[in-house]
Amino acid sequence: MLNQTILVGRLTHDPELRKSEEGRSVTTIRIAVQRSFKSGETNEYETDFFNCTLWSGIAEATVDYCKKGSIIGIKARLAQRDYMVEGQKLFSYPEIIVEKISFIGNGKD
């Protein structure tokens, strides 16, 4: 079985470090990924935006080395949580959990 996602894009905001209830470092980033083809209607590249969660050392390094506009590459897995509402089991949208990050550019280019 394989659960792997690879994305390369730009950060849409400066990452901010938080602490979980258990004391672990965590940050959530939003990455803008330009599609590799142009839209037929507008003849422009479209962009997809993804929220990603980073934990512990990866979260700390990202906050230290990245800012809005930085180009990064991530290797991640998708996770889905379930929860109960009025006795019904519901599922959240898949969450992107970053396992590895590569710092490609500083956003000045």
The predicted structure's pLDDT at residue 56: 95
Q: What is the CATH number of the domain that holds 26?
A: 2.40.50.140
**Token pair for residue 94?**
């898949």
Do residues 71 and 7 touch, judged by C-beta distance below 8 A?
A: no
Q: What total number of domains does the chain contain?
A: 1
CA 49 – CA 40 distance, rounded (Å): 20
Going by the DSSP 8-state scheme, the letter that residue 21 receives in this structure is T
Q: Which domain holds residue 19?
A: 5-105
The predicted structure's pLDDT at residue 107: 63
Q: What are the residues facing 82 on neighbouring strands? A: 91
What are the 10-residue block averages of pLDDT along the chain, 109 residues in total? 96 95 96 89 90 96 95 96 86 91 79
Residue of 92, 22, 12, 91 lying closest to 55 (CA atoms): 22
Task: Count CA atoms within 13 Å of residue 40 on its CB side.
Answer: 0
pTM of the model: 0.82
The predicted structure's pLDDT at residue 6: 97
